[in-house]
């Protein structure tokens, strides 16, 4: 009897604005694999925390409240990778998850170890059987260190800030470029210096700089890195 083949699992990590979500979606479509946006899971917790009146400065009681929200989180992903919708407790919150205040809160809640442990548990359950393309900030280092392919997608800070600014403008959100860039620098610092699962390339990860590449070129580069099927 032959050994069962492990499902293909591609881990794409990187800082905000590197193009992880767009790249992961297109790679999933190209290869016919499921797509998992782990950042949306943290944003969902952040949205619930914000709605509960919790701010970025959390005391012990606030942190415990956020942990409880994570444990009770009812989040579902609907649709195909290119048109993914996120529902929390039955409500479509896809647009709300991209709000600047939710982005700020997501960076705060994702630094809480108990929240990360709960999200990692769920992420492993979701991708364990079918594999897929999973994007986030600790997928190759913590969630799936034995992934088939580990990619660390990055871009120059000013390029990432411009992408975020353009995204907000396209959604009708009025923002100053300087404020967007400053907020990104703060998030980069929090993500890379947090004690639990700091943002960094995983062992064996291939670093792809998307600064001067189109989305199609980034997708081509990632797909080309996938080891041939035995």
CATH code of the domain occupying 9-225: 3.40.50.300
* Range list of H helices, the chain: 20-31, 38-51, 60-71, 100-109, 113-128, 157-170, 177-193, 215-225
Angle at the Cα of 81 from the Cα atoms of 79 and 86, rounded to 5 degrees: 55
Q: What is the pLDDT of residue 196?
A: 81
Residue 196 corresponds to which tokens in the numbers above? 């639990």
Residue (of 220, 202, 221) closest to 13 by Cα position: 202
Q: What is the pLDDT of residue 204?
A: 96
Q: What is the pLDDT of residue 4?
A: 55
Report, as ranges of residue numbers, the positions in the chain whose pLDDT lies below 50. 1-3
Give the integer Cα–Cα distance in Å for 75 and 73.
6
Angle at the Cα of 176 from the Cα atoms of 174 and 180, rounded to 5 degrees: 105
With contact defined as beta carbons under 8 Å apart, do 174 and 101 qualify? no
Residue 151 has φ and ψ, to the nearest 5°, of -125, 135
Q: pLDDT, tens digit, for every residue of 101-153?
A: 898 899 899 989 999 999 999 999 988 878 999 999 899 999 999 999 999 99
Q: What is the pLDDT of residue 168?
A: 85
Q: What is the pLDDT of residue 1?
A: 44
Q: pTM of the predicted model, to two decimals?
A: 0.86
């Amino acid at each position: 009897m032959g050994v069962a083949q492990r499902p293909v699992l591609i881990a794409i990590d990187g800082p905000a604005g590197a193009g992880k979500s767009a790249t992961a979606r297109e790679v999933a479509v190209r290869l016919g694999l499921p797509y998992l946006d782990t950042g949306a899971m943290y944003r969902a917790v952040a949205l619930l925390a914000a709605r509960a009146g919790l701010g970025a400065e959390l005391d012990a009681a606030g942190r415990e409240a956020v942990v409880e929200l994570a444990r009770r989180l009812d989040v579902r992903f609907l649709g195909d990778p290119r048109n993914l919708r996120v529902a929390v407790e039955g409500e479509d919150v896809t647009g709300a998850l991209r709000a600047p205040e939710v982005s700020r809160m997501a960076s705060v809640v994702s630094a809480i170890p108990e929240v990360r442990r709960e999200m990692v548990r769920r992420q492993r359950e979701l991708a364990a059987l079918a594999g897929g393309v999973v994007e986030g900030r600790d997928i190759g280092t913590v969630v799936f260190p034995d992934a088939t392919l580990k990619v660390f997608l990055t871009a120059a800070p000013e390029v990432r800030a411009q992408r975020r600014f353009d995204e907000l403008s396209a959604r009708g959100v009025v923002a100053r470029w300087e404020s967007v860039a400053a907020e990104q620098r703060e998030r980069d610092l929090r993500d890379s210096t947090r004690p639990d699962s700091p943002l960094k390339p995983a062992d064996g990860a291939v670093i792809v700089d998307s600064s001067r590449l189109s989305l199609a070129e980034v997708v081509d580069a990632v797909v080309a890195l996938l080891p041939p099927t035995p």
